[in-house]
Structure 1
Amino acid sequence: MPRIYLSSPHIGPDEHALVAEAFATNWVAPLGPHVDAFERELASYVGVG
């Protein structure tokens, strides 16, 4: 039976560059500079930290 995709994946040039950077700098674990920045921005947005 063929698969029916509800949402086809799309990786644009910006996402491709960020993924390539993660692999090039060896930050493929669930941490790194982008995760740190995201956590800081989220904490500021919700008013904690």
Structure 2
Amino acid sequence: LTLSAHIPLVRLDARSKDSVKSALINLVEHALTVRMAVPGWSG
């Protein structure tokens, strides 16, 4: 699997609620960071 350096790869154990929660938090934080970096985006 080839991903660009700016795309995070998050490992998780789908059987663990805490692991899934952490992965989802990372996903949302990354999405918000990328969204805020788009010029002209005001939310």
TM-score strictly above 0.5? no
Q: TM-score, normalised by structure 1?
A: 0.39
When Rg is computed on C-alpha atoms for both structures, the one with the higher figure is 1
TM-score normalized by the length of structure 2: 0.42
When you count helix as a share of all residues, which structure comes out higher?
1
